[in-house]
Amino acid sequence: MKNTADITVLGAGSYGTALAISLASNGHRTLLWGHEPEHIANLKKDKCNNEFLPGIALPDLLIPEADLATALAASNNVLVVVPSHVFGSVLSQAKPLLRDDARIIWATKGLEPETGRLLQEVARDILGEHYPLAVLSGPTFAKELAAGLPTAISIAGTDVNFIKDLVELLHSPKRLRVYENDDFTGLQLGGAVKNVIAISAGMSDGIGFGANARTALITRGLVELTRLGEAIGAQGATFMGMAGLGDLVLTCTDNQSRNRRFGLALGKGLDVETAQQEIGQVVEGYRNTKEVYTLAKRLGVEMPITEQVYKVLYQGGTPHEAAKALLGRDQKSET
Ligand X SMILES: NC(=O)C1=CN([C@@H]2O[C@H](COP(=O)(O)OP(=O)(O)OC[C@H]3O[C@@H](n4cnc5c(N)ncnc54)[C@H](OP(=O)(O)O)[C@@H]3O)[C@@H](O)[C@H]2O)C=CC1
Ligand Y SMILES: O=C(CO)COP(=O)(O)O
Residue 139 site contact among ligand X, ligand Y, none (CB < 5 to 8 Å, cut-off depends on kind): ligand Y
- Identify which range of 22-30, 177-185, 254-262, 317-325 contacts ligand Y by CB under 6 A: 254-262
User: Which residue from 198, 213, 222, 225 is in contact with ligand Y, where contact means CB under 6 A?
Assistant: 198
User: Which residue from 165, 205, 224, 284 is in contact with ligand Y, where contact means CB under 6 A?
Assistant: 284
Sheet hosting strand 62-65, strand order edge to edge: 62-65, 30-33, 7-10, 77-80, 103-106, 133-137, 151-157, 176-180
Query: Closest Cα to residue 232, out of 107, 121, 82?
Result: 121
Distance (Å, whole) CA 280 – CA 134: 29
Burial per residue of 114-141, b for 16 or more beta-carbon CB atoms within 10 angstroms, e otherwise? eebbbbbebbbeebeeebbbbbbbbbbb
Please confirm, yes or no, whether 194 is among the known catalytic residues: yes
The verdict on 258 binding ligand Y (CB under 6 A) reads: yes
Distance (Å, whole) CA 284 – CA 251: 12
- Identify which range of 36-44, 52-60, 134-142, 234-242 contacts ligand Y by CB under 6 A: 134-142
Instruction: Identify the active-site residue in 2, 194, 268, 290.
Output: 194
User: Which residue from 30, 185, 251, 289 is in contact with ligand Y, where contact means CB under 6 A?
Assistant: 251
Please report how close the Cβ of residue 21 comes to ligand Y at its closest, in angstroms.
16
Determine if residue 183 is labeled as part of a ligand binding site: no
Query: Closest Cα to residue 20, out of 242, 169, 132, 188?
Result: 169
- Report the first-to-last Cα separation within the chain, whole angstroms: 58
Q: Site map for ligand Y, 259-278, x if CB under 6 A?
A: x-------------------
For residues 140 and 154, which CB has a smaller minimum distance to ligand Y in the complex?
140
- What residue ranges bind ligand X (CB under 6 A)? 11-16, 34-36, 52, 81-84, 86, 89-90, 107-110, 140-142, 281-282, 284
User: Which residue from 247, 248, 296, 322 is in contact with ligand Y, where contact means CB under 6 A?
Assistant: 247
DSSP secondary structure of 1-40: -TT--SEEEE--SHHHHHHHHHHHHTT--EEEE-S-HHHH
Contacts with ligand Y by CB under 6 A lie at 109, 139-141, 198, 247, 250-251, 257-259, 284
Q: What residues act catalytically?
A: 194
Q: Which residues are known binding-site members for NADPH?
A: 14-15, 35, 109, 142, 258, 282, 284
